[in-house]
Amino acid sequence: MTTTTGTRDFLLPDLGEGLSEAEIVEWRVAVGDVVTVDQSVVEVETAKAVVDVPCPYAGRVVALHGAAGEVRPVGQPLITIAPLDGEAEGDPHATYREEERAGSGNVLIGYGTGHGGSGRRRRPRLALAPEPAAGASAGPGGPGTTVPPTAADPTRGGATATVGGPASMTGSGPLAAASTGGAGRPVQDRSAGAPLVISPIVRRLAKERGVDLASLTGTGPGGVIRRADVEAALAAPLAAVPDAPAAHVGLAPAADGDVVIPLTGIRKAIADKLSRSRREIPEVTIWVDVDATGLLATRAAINAATPDAPVSILALLARICLSGLRKYPQLNAHVDTEGQRIVQSAGVHLGIAAQTDRGLVVPVLRDAQRLTTRELAAALAETTAAARAGTLPPARLTGGTFTLNNYGVFGVDGSTPIINHPEAALLGVGRIVDKPWVVDGQLAVRKVTQLSLTFDHRVCDGGVAGGFLRHVADCVEQPALLVANV
């Protein structure tokens, strides 16, 4: 971007992949330094990588916009360059950079001046046509000379461009593919074939979103189609079709005999919540088979000692989960997308997935870490019974921070359940069945189950999730380990 004083502001370019900002790591230059075209001037860090950013201008550095550690948005000034004394203002390399950046605001793709020997082909650009001098005549090699057809990219519809001269501006013949508009800028003629697009990012965006570039009017210099033009086309409301019958796009109408069930009530609430979870949470599922023989023996011993207050397997699994969350609190959390932060909850509000006649519900035991194992067992029995009866108030069905799902009651071994939004993790337990298992080097028949953990990859990486699942598995196989963590 050239200012009225002759200096040029280099804007932070679009680094691709939808990134909108970058943090300045280290400046490679200082105010007063002389830089050349494509010289690296700053190292920045994005959400994906640390990269060196080259400057498309040559001259003297007069301003650095931002200090190390500062976050700069894409499209804002990064560095200001002034021409050296006696330097011509019409630098052809700078002109090329202006044209290249016009496609999407700024791009970091295709930098390089083309004066080396790489041999890579560049898409030809339309040249600016100077105003013809009075009385000038066209002649060989003079004004009005056309660019040979071989210089144009055949994939762009065979358009040709001129390098000046009144004969090329008549609009009759192939040279009408490019003409000059106001201020001597090239204006695209739709009859030329391909639309005027310079940036590969703009082409890719249009292709991915199904936007016809030929239908757009570019707002960039010379009618160049910019990213903003594509996004504006995506945001524009579709024209209403009069008398169009109401129908679901892509779905065949219900046939005779089909059962149509309105998506309402609790079914709609379930659909909305699970859809939001799958849409927003980058979930990962890991699993492990465990020998639950020791856990069953521990439960039998507890219930034999106090038959009036039995403890369920689900209560023991809940106690193990609470122990694991104490060791790995990263999973007892949620992501605040508006505040751009992760919130780890002080208490564990344990959700228990329960299947009812009305659908799936997840009642919550608040501050479950404060309950003893017997209290957990009693609270679980009371809560699940009330959930199936439909007597739980809405406040008891929200606010969970971690969910335990025993899908083994359906006779299945494993699952990849959807996280209960906005929670960050869910432990699933399959059925406990007799399976061959190696114990002390000998094959034996043991009570085996599968544990699966689905977690939000935004709150932690595989090390934390794997550590939590391994801790749970170890406590299931050796319940005595649980005593050391209670």
59-64 sheet: strands from edge to edge: 8-11, 77-82, 59-64, 34-35
C-alpha distances out from residue 173 to 139, 149, 177, 180, 184, Å: 18, 13, 8, 15, 21
CB 243 within 8 A of CB 120: no
Q: Is 349 a catalytic residue?
A: no
Closest CA to 93 of 72, 110, 71, 68: 110
Alpha carbon 282 to its chain centroid, in Å, reads 9
Longest dimension (CA), the chain: 114
The catalytic residue among 349, 421, 457, 471 is 457
* Contact by Cβ (8 Å): 452, 474: no
**Cα 304 from chain centroid (whole Å):** 53
Single-letter amino acid, residue 4: T
Q: Are 321 and 380 in contact (CB under 8 A)?
A: no
Residues in a beta bridge with 22: 72
Please count the other Cβ atoms lying within 10 Å of the Cβ belonging to residue 412: 12
Which residues does the annotation mark as catalytic? 457
